[in-house]
């Protein structure tokens, strides 16, 4: 049973997450050759102030651009 975890910034709308889940599922089914029902996906939404790159929070990086 494939188990996929996806970390995203918080705020993507439900339709975009639905499309992401569908496409990731289809890819896993094709590559791993398993039934769709075997694919489990968890999307974790992280606020931008809790996600950093290069020592700087993304909430700060975006404000300064």
What integer is the mean pLDDT of 4-8? 97
pLDDT single digits (tens) 19-44: 999 999 999 999 999 999 999 999 99
- Ordered by where they begin, the domains of the chain are 3-63 (3.30.429.10)
Instruction: State how far the Cα of 65 lies from the Cα of 62, in Å rounded to an integer.
Output: 5
Which pLDDT value is given to residue 31? 98
Which pLDDT value is given to residue 39? 98
Q: For the chain, what percent of residues have pLDDT higher than 70? A: 92
CA distances from 29 to 6, 20, 36, 41, 47 (A): 17, 14, 6, 12, 30
User: Who's near 11: CB < 8 A, 6+ residues apart?
Assistant: 45
Active site positions, annotated: 2
Which pLDDT value is given to residue 6? 98
Reply yes or no on whether the pLDDT at 63 is more than 70.
no
């Amino acid at each position: 049973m494939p188990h996929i975890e996806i970390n995203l910034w918080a705020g993507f709308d439900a339709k975009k997450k639905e499309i992401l889940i569908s496409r990731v599922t289809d890819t896993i089914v094709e590559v791993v050759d398993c039934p769709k029902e075997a694919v489990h996906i968890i999307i974790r939404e992280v606020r931008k102030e809790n996600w950093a790159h290069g020592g700087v929070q993304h909430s700060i990086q975006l404000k300064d651009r």
